[in-house]
Amino acid sequence: MALLDSLDPATRQALKASLLAKFPPAALETLLSDAIRLDIPAGGMPYREGDFPRTGLVVKGLVRVFMTSQAGRQVTVRYARPGELLGVPALVGGPVPVNVQAVTEISLLMLNTRTIETIARADGEIAWALAEETSQRLYAVLEELAGNTFGSVRERTARHLLNLAAERQLTSGKILIASVTQQEIADAVGSVREVVARALRQLSEEGLLKNTPDGIVILEPAGLLEVSLGTNL
């Protein structure tokens, strides 16, 4: 386990929290032997639709995966945090029509897809672990769909603001800011302005965002994501 022992604490922690922790030690060493650390500033895009399939482990920061329509509209597919993998379904299904965005400054451990395929074909435990990861991604999409419909106003507001700010970040710089009125938020999440105003006030008091003349600035994107998932009540 020489390679694993030589990794920095953040990378070791991310590996421990990921499905890669289920890999046999020898297979993990093989996987790490040609892995590459990639640091991306906030607003950067390490993967774009049409790129060759890539698989990476989030070591630091918050990552957004989104799709874009021909008309330029965006829809967020998922957010990924440290310990989560990107690109596993593409190992079998091929290129996925998504883009990957660094919402905050991120660090990724990019894994060689050919190496993963080789060890997965040789070891049933590894192949099963990858299948589990793919099924978890499917369940996460179902939960996302349900959350958009059944989540509380607080949860839906948090998600909507994060999505708006992340989309704007791609064209306006690193700062996460949503230029939107309370009524526009209410219309988007299916509520009324008074209820949305209360949710925004609570989120501001919790230090997750602040109102400015230019819009709503997201101070803690990871914390806002926790709210949207219902894990920070």
**pLDDT (tens digit, 9 = 90+) per residue, 143-153?**
888 887 889 99
Could you give the maximum distance between any two Cα atoms of the chain, in Å? Answer: 58
What's the whole-number mean pLDDT along residues 202-223? 95
What's the whole-number mean pLDDT along residues 106-116? 96
How confident is the model at residue 211, as a pLDDT? 93
Kindly state the tokens that stand for 49.
């639709």
> How far apart, in Å, are the Cα atoms of 71 and each of 50, 67, 170, 179, 183?
17, 12, 16, 21, 25
All CATH 2.60.120.10 domain ranges in the chain, comma separated? 2-148
How confident is the model at residue 4, as a pLDDT? 75
- Four-point Cα dihedral 187, 188, 191, 194, nearest 10: -70
Tell which residue, 77, 36, 84, has the closest CA to residue 59.
84
- The answer to whether residue 122 scores a pLDDT higher than 90 is yes
- What gap in Å lies between CA 68 and CA 166, rounded to an integer? 13
Residue 81: phi, psi to the nearest 5?
A: -120, 175
- The answer to whether residue 78 scores a pLDDT higher than 80 is yes
pLDDT digits (tens, 9 = 90+) for 15-35: 999 999 999 999 999 999 999
Model confidence at 200, in pLDDT bands (50, 70, 90)?
very high
All CATH 1.10.10.10 domain ranges in the chain, comma separated? 151-228
Task: Round the average pLDDT of the chain to a whole number and report it.
Answer: 92
What's the CATH number for 151-228? 1.10.10.10
Lowest-pLDDT range, 4-13, 127-136, 198-207?
A: 4-13
What's the whole-number mean pLDDT along residues 69-98? 91
- The answer to whether residue 66 scores a pLDDT higher than 70 is yes
* CATH class (in words) of the domain with range 2-148: mainly beta
What's the whole-number mean pLDDT along residues 1-26? 88
3-state secondary structure of 175: coil
Percent of the chain with pLDDT strictly greater than 90: 76
- The answer to whether residue 5 scores a pLDDT higher than 80 is no
Pair 72, 48: CB distance under 8 Å:
no
For the chain, where are the alpha helices, taking DSSP H only?
A: 2-5, 9-17, 25-33, 90-93, 113-122, 124-150, 153-172, 182-189, 193-205, 221-228
- The answer to whether residue 46 scores a pLDDT higher than 70 is yes
Kindly state the tokens that stand for 1.
């386990």
pTM score of the predicted model: 0.88
What residues does 79 pair with on adjacent strands? 64
How confident is the model at residue 123, as a pLDDT? 93
- Four-point Cα dihedral 15, 18, 22, 25, nearest 10: -10
Tell me how many helices (H) and strands (E) the chain has: 10, 10
